[in-house]
């Protein structure tokens, strides 16, 4: 029996057409291959949030830039045994690292009840950022996965770094 499968493997520019295509392919996969409805919903929800994160928060997302060719945005879902691992990556400004790092570290220190409370408070706050988000993306990711968010920053140059994040959907986490 096969214990490993690549569900989605996208490396390159992420625009609305790419997002629609990936989500369409993912729907077909999870409909036929993922029996548990809760797991299907988690995989799809995380995928939407991750793709939106790449689309809205990449600080360099153009086909014409050599950095993007060498460090392309990525969105990968793999299945290992019964768990799903979502990998994303994109270029961010070095000046944004501390903000992202602080948000993830804060979320990783919270338990599930605290994350749920933070989610409710953020919903009621409703402030929209300059990039069009309400700051809910990482909170939704932490809430949905129920696992710690793994991340890494690889310095590219004095201006940019490559931000990679990994989310796990465990088949036995059904709370």
Section 166-172 average pLDDT: 93
pLDDT above 60 (res 1): no
CATH number at residue 40: 3.30.565.10
Instruction: Say if 61 falls within a structural domain.
Output: yes
- The pLDDT value given to residue 134: 46
Q: Are strands 74-80 and 4-11 parallel, antiparallel or unpaired?
A: antiparallel
pLDDT band at residue 73, thresholds of 50, 70 and 90? very high
Model confidence over 24-69: pLDDT tens digits? 999 999 999 999 999 999 999 999 999 999 998 888 766 667 888 8
11: number of Cβ within 10 Å: 12
Answer whether residue 159 is part of any domain.
yes
Question: For residue 174, is it within any domain?
Answer: no
Write out the residue range of the structural domain in which residue 36 sits: 4-169
Q: Is the pLDDT of residue 129 over 80?
A: no
Rg of the chain over CA atoms, in angstroms? 16
Rounded to an integer, what distance in angstroms lies between the CA atom of residue 145 and that of residue 87? 13
Check residue 126 and give its pLDDT. 60
Establish if 175 belongs to a structural domain: no
Q: pTM value?
A: 0.90
CA 82 from centre of chain: 19
Whether 131 has a pLDDT exceeding 60, the answer reads no
In a domain, 156, yes or no: yes
Q: How many domains does the chain have?
A: 1
Is 137 within the bounds of a domain?
yes
What mean pLDDT do residues 78-90 have?
A: 96
Given a cut of 80, is residue 174 above it in pLDDT? no
Within a domain: 141 = yes
Looking at the domain assignment, is residue 24 inside a domain? yes
Indicate the DSSP class of residue 147.
Answer: S
């Amino acid at each position: 029996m096969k214990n490993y499968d690549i569900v989605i493997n996208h490396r390159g520019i992420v625009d609305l057409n790419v997002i629609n295509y990936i989500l369409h392919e993912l729907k077909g996969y999870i409909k036929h291959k993922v029996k548990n409805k809760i797991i299907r919903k988690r995989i799809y929800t995380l995928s939407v949030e991750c793709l939106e994160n790449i689309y809205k928060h990449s600080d360099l997302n153009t086909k014409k830039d050599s950095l993007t060719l060498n460090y392309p945005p990525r969105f990968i879902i793999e299945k290992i045994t019964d768990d799903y691992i979502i990998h994303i990556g994109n270029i961010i400004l070095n000046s944004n690292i501390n903000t992202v790092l602080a948000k993830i570290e804060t979320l990783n220190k919270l338990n599930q009840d605290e994350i749920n409370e933070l989610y409710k408070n953020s919903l009621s706050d409703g402030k929209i950022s300059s990039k069009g988000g309400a700051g809910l993306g990482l909170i939704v990711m932490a809430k949905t996965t129920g696992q710690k968010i793994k991340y890494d920053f690889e310095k590219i140059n004095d201006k940019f770094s490559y931000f990679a994040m990994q989310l796990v959907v465990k088949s036995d986490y059904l709370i």
